[in-house]
Amino acid sequence: MSYAFFIDTTLCTGCRACQVACKQWHDLPAEETLNRGTHQNPPDLSDRTYKVVRMNEVVIEKKLRWLFFPEQCRHCIEAPCLEAAGEPTAIYRDDATGAILYTAETRHLAADDIIAACPYNVPRKGPDGVLYKCDMCVDRVRNGLQPACVQTCTAGAMHFGERESILAMAEERLATVRKQVPKASLADANDVTVIYLLAFDPMQYHENAIASSEFQGISRHMALRRMIRPFSRAVAGLSG
Ligand code: SF4
Ligand code: SF4
């Protein structure tokens, strides 16, 4: 089965219920937060925060707008992090769901190279040397449940299901939104499993809302060849 998320940012209210649900389901500790003059907290993804609702205050056509972007791993269809690792005991695709999954064996990979390979700057290294990110809640999905963030979304902004029907839903909603905002788009829809509907310029949401410019206009394989340096294996036992 090929799954996908549809995240309609035009409906997101920035309540962060998804962020909390993700932590709760994965039993992740809270992070100390700080008033930095923004609704966004914590400030970034981390080894303890797999989903963060990014917030930007922008002026568009003389109107102040709050743009919310619930960020997580995109579970890329051709995942550069997986190809960069080249080590299926550390990073692999779960055939039952399409999720790109990281294991504790990522501690043996060159973390900086894996992070650099991600077009969305998602993986984070923990103090134990392991790389962490969203796992699509595969334990829930394999048992017929929705991912915790989707299940919890109070605004009906997040959807999850079979890819074809999710894509159809996204296209239909895009057509509706474009009647009012002609520049609305589906971010990198052909390349990713987590499809965002963005009403405005993606860069106004976050610098990684779409694949970084180094990845645009070239295939992922070309990008990998260009970006990825030879990997060092810190510990023997990982053959490459
Ligand atoms: Fe890997 Fe980054 Fe794609 Fe997630 S978004 S699958 S971490 S390359
Ligand atoms: Fe967190 Fe699961 Fe949502 Fe990923 S799918 S962001 S792990 S709640």
d(CA 94, CA 75): 10
195 lines ligand 2 (CB under 6 A): no
Ligand 2 atom 5, closest CA: 136
pLDDT digits (tens, 9 = 90+) for 47-56: 999 999 999 9
Q: What is the pTM of this model?
A: 0.90
> Can you read off the two tokens belonging to residue 240?
């490459």
d(CA 52, CA 46): 9
Which of 116, 119, 115 shows the shortest CA–CA distance to 132?
115
Q: Is residue 177 within 8 Å of residue 157, measured between CB atoms?
A: no
Query: What pLDDT score does 219 carry?
Result: 45
Ligand 2 atom closest to Cα of 26?
Answer: 7
Query: What pLDDT score does 212 carry?
Result: 75
Spacing, Cα 75 to ligand 1 middle (Å): 5
Across 104-131, average pLDDT = 97
Please return the burial class of 193, using the count of CB atoms within 10 Å of its CB with bins 0-12, 13-18 and 19+.
buried
Ligand 2 atom 7, closest CA: 134
In the predicted model, is pLDDT for residue 171 greater than 60? yes
Query: What pLDDT score does 96 carry?
Result: 93
Across 25-39, average pLDDT = 91
Spacing, Cα 73 to ligand 1 middle (Å): 5
Spacing, Cα 179 to ligand 1 middle (Å): 32
Across 146-172, average pLDDT = 97
Q: Which of 20-24, 37-41, 99-103 has the lowest mean pLDDT?
A: 37-41
Across 188-216, average pLDDT = 91
SS (H, E, C) the chain: CCEEEEEECCCCCCCCHHHHHHHHHHCCCCCCCCCCCCCCCCCCCECCECCEEEEEEEEECCEEEEEEEEECCCCCCCCHHHHHHCCCCCEEECCCCCCEEECHHHHHCCHHHHHHHCCCCCCEECCCCCEECCCCCHHHHCCCCCCHHHHHCCCCCEEEEEHHHHHHHHHHHHHHHHCCCCCCEECCCCCCCEEEEECCCHHHCCCCCCCCHHHCCCCHHHHHHHHCCCCCCCCCCCCC
Domains of the chain, each with CATH number or no CATH? 80-136+215-231 (3.30.70.20)
> Can you read off the two tokens belonging to residue 218?
């070239």
Query: What pLDDT score does 143 carry?
Result: 96
Averaged pLDDT of the chain: 90
51 lines ligand 2 (CB under 6 A): yes
Which of 95, 93, 73 shows the shortest CA–CA distance to 83?
93
In the predicted model, is pLDDT for residue 190 greater than 50? yes
Query: What pLDDT score does 235 carry?
Result: 38
Across 110-139, average pLDDT = 97
Tell me the backbone φ, ψ of residue 100, rounded to 5 degrees.
-90, 115
Which of 53, 5, 2, 14 shows the shortest CA–CA distance to 169?
5
In the predicted model, is pLDDT for residue 10 greater than 60? yes
Q: From the CA atom positions of the chain, what is the Rg in Å?
A: 18
Which of 205, 199, 203 shows the shortest CA–CA distance to 176?
199
Ligand 1 atom closest to Cα of 73?
Answer: 4
Query: What pLDDT score does 213 carry?
Result: 63
Ligand 1 atom closest to Cα of 117?
Answer: 8
pLDDT digits (tens, 9 = 90+) for 69-91: 999 999 999 999 999 999 999 99
Banded pLDDT at 99 (limits 50, 70, 90) = very high
Query: What pLDDT score does 1 carry?
Result: 77
Q: Is residue 106 within 8 Å of residue 130, measured between CB atoms?
A: yes
